């Protein structure tokens, strides 16, 4: 499953029979993750809701008083909490990464971001990687002693001018970090220490996010965008979901605990 932000839809595809599906929602949707009870938690503009496929049950609002921020990407941890970020529509450091519990309590744990984007946990839960696309970087954070907050632990990568910007990310079973380089026509893989291990070109300018899926979690699925393409651009696969076999395995998706 993946989100179609401008299409206001959560889309799905079955690798078994090729069936395509779409769940249309009232507003632009930036996140859809599975829950422990079979529903999905979805993010729309400034609010989170629980979706059973037929109706939405409101969970909470996030930064709803600021008309210049919007909810963006996120991930769940092994305790079933949702870590979700916002981005600034005017490019200001007014966004944040929030942690959300099953009762809808949302707390900002990293502030001063421009565009919080891909988020991912190391396999042992010792590090969380947080993308700020607005600053073209991915930072490392470690949980505080009680696990309720985060401490900065350095920068994984910073993109140079002309390389594109890190967007969505996924952490593989070996702890390496894969990121979609928005505007850079590639995806990259970094070791936990920041060494660039792999760069895979893709036939689109704007890859947006990625995950490791399939029966053996060894297929890298890459979402893409055509929203920023110039008129007449020759990119027939822009907006498609791509797949490659990178010879690595992923981790099972953590579910939002409800």
The pTM for the full model equals: 0.96
Q: Please report the pLDDT score of residue 149 as a whole number.
A: 86
167 catalytic per annotation: yes
Residues 198, 94: Cα–Cα separation, whole Å: 33
pLDDT at 16 over 90: no
pLDDT at 147 over 70: no
pLDDT at 161 over 70: yes
Mean of pLDDT values over 126-139: 98
Q: Band of the pLDDT at 84, cuts 50, 70, 90?
A: very high
pLDDT at 168 over 90: yes
3-state secondary structure the chain: CEEECCCCEEEEECCCCCCEEEEECCCCEEEEEEECCCCEEEEECCEEEEECCCCEEEEEECCCCCCCEEEEEEEECCCCCEEEEEEECCCCCCEEEEEECCCCCEEEEEEEECEEEEEEECCCCCCEEEEEHHHCEEEEEEECCCCCCEEEEEEEEECCCCCCEEEEEEECCCCCEEEEEECCCEEEEECCCCCEEEEEECCCCCEEEEEEECCCCCEEEEEECCCCCCCCCCCCCCCCEEEECCCCCCCCCCCECC
What percentage of residues in the chain have a pLDDT greater than 70? 99
Per-residue pLDDT of 108-122, as tens digits, reads 999 999 999 999 999
Q: Band of the pLDDT at 145, cuts 50, 70, 90?
A: confident
Of the ranges 14-18, 74-78, 117-121, 163-167, which one carries the lowest mean pLDDT score? Answer: 14-18
Which residue among the candidates 51, 73, 132, 167 is catalytic per the annotation?
167
Per-residue pLDDT of 191-213, as tens digits, reads 999 999 999 999 999 999 999 99
Q: Please report the pLDDT score of residue 150 as a whole number.
A: 94
In terms of CATH, what superfamily is 2-244?
TolB, C-terminal domain (2.120.10.30)
Could you tell me if 94 and 72 are in contact, meaning their C-beta atoms sit under 8 angstroms apart? Answer: no
Mean pLDDT, rounded, of the chain: 96
What percentage of residues in the chain have a pLDDT greater than 90? 93
Q: Minimal CA–CA distance to 237: which of 247, 229, 245? A: 229
């Amino acid at each position: 499953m993946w989100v179609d932000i401008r299409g206001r839809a959560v889309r799905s595809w079955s690798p078994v029979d090729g069936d395509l599906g779409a769940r249309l929602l009232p507003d632009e949707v930036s996140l859809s993750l599975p829950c422990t009870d079979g529903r999905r938690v979805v993010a729309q503009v400034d609010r989170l809701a629980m979706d059973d496929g037929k109706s939405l049950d409101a969970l909470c609002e996030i930064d709803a008083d600021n008309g210049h921020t919007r909810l963006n990407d996120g991930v769940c941890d092994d305790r079933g909490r949702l870590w979700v970020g916002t981005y600034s529509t005017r490019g200001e450091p007014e966004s944040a990464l929030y942690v959300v519990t099953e009762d809808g309590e949302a707390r900002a744990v990293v502030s001063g971001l421009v565009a919080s984007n891909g988020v991912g946990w190391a396999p042992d839960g010792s590090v969380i990687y947080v993308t700020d696309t607005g600053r073209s970087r991915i930072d490392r954070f470690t949980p505080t002693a009680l696990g309720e907050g985060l401490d900065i632990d350095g920068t994984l990568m910073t993109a140079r001018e002309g390389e594109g910007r890190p967007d969505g990310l996924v952490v593989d079973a070996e702890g390496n970090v894969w990121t979609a380089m928005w505007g850079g026509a590639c995806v990259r893989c970094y070791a936990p220490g920041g060494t660039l291990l792999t760069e895979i070109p893709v036939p689109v300018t704007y890859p947006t996010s990625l995950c490791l899926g399939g029966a053996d979690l060894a297929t890298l699925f890459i979402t893409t965008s055509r929203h920023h393409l110039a008129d007449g651009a020759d990119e027939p696969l822009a907006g498609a979901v791509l797949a490659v076999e990178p010879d690595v395995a992923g981790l099972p998706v953590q579910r939002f605990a409800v």
